[in-house]
Amino acid sequence: GSRSYTISIGPDLLARAGELVDAPKAETIALVTDASVAGLHGERARRGLAGTGLRVEQFTLEPGESSKSTAALESMWRWLAAVGMHRTDVVTALGGGVVGDAAGFAAATYHRGVPLVQMPTTLLGQIDSAIGGKTAIDLPEGKNLVGAFHQPRAVVCDTTTLQTLPDHVFATGMAEAIKHALIAPGTLADRLTAQSDVITARDPETLATLVVDAAAVKVRIVEEDETEQAGRAFLNYGHTLAHAVEALAGYAGPTHGEAVAIGMMFAANLATELGYADRVGVHRSLLEAYDLPTTGAGFEYEDVARTWVRDKKYEAGMRFVLLEDLGRPVLVRDVPEGALRKAYEAVR
């Protein structure tokens, strides 16, 4: 349909980004990035986009979550107006999750929606957050409270950008790759175990294959469920506890990847408590292979439970994504308090 789009994955794609931007009526490309990504990849992206003969204008956000704010959004909107963006012109988001979320929401709302191309430069972006059309900004009251679904025209994943990621940012992406491997049927989990050395060393060819395979899991789920009813909830595996721990730590504690790793261990323990297949060992060895934590949530169970009640996914009772077995996720409601507490103590 009109909402389908091409995801291109491979090395050095920024150099030919222009050909991959699907925008026949555009005159201007607004390249939104952040200061650290601009220094690493901005020039290649600008040159690649300029190859189309279109005018390329660049807007540079401050790195970090503070750019997902109403203030940053207003400055982006006003800049789009100042450079004369029309509704057929294109916003390209070059960077990690923050840039994709903030630039994506600006594109979703400016002129009631202008074409967007996601150009994620992090592993998390390439396999997860840049696919599926979710965009958002934060409020002082909480993260991602204001947003929109705005499907991109194209997603351009230049796997060469993964070479420049700091280790902890790469590890966050690996936590999500492991999540995709655990919730999807197939051999991805086995390959992540077997290839941990090569992937950790960031062998270019292996990484490109990993991005293709992990992104395919997200694509398959989103295709079936574009606006997060049932299937898409499986992508929140490990995130119910992760979000609580991140919020309790004021987003200054564990990285997102570390929180998700602990959250998946919690889910594995909870599944075992409830009589599903015991796959705690598989979870542990996968996470340890990528130096991700398996315990260390750190807060009292009562505090975590209080946070859950306020979560935006809390409709008519908490629901947890658990694995009946590897590759077989289920949504479970009405989990007994005792099982929750016991599973939590195992990762605290």
> Annotated active-site positions, please?
112, 134, 176, 218, 228, 232, 236, 239, 243, 256
Q: Which amino acid is at 288?
A: E
Q: Look at residues 123, 99, 66 and name the one whose alpha carbon lies nearest to residue 256.
A: 123
Q: Do the bridges between strand 90-95 and strand 28-34 make them parallel or antiparallel, or are there none, so unpaired? A: parallel
240 token code pair: 């119910």
Distance CA 185, CA 213 (A): 12
Which stretches of the chain are DSSP H helices? 17-20, 35-37, 43-50, 70-82, 97-109, 123-124, 167-183, 188-194, 196-200, 204-224, 239-248, 256-273, 280-289, 301-310, 337-345
Burial tier of 87 (Cβ tally within 10 Å: 0-12, 13-18, 19+): exposed
Please say whether the beta carbons of 73 and 99 come within 8 A.
no
State whether residue 31 is helix, strand or coil: strand
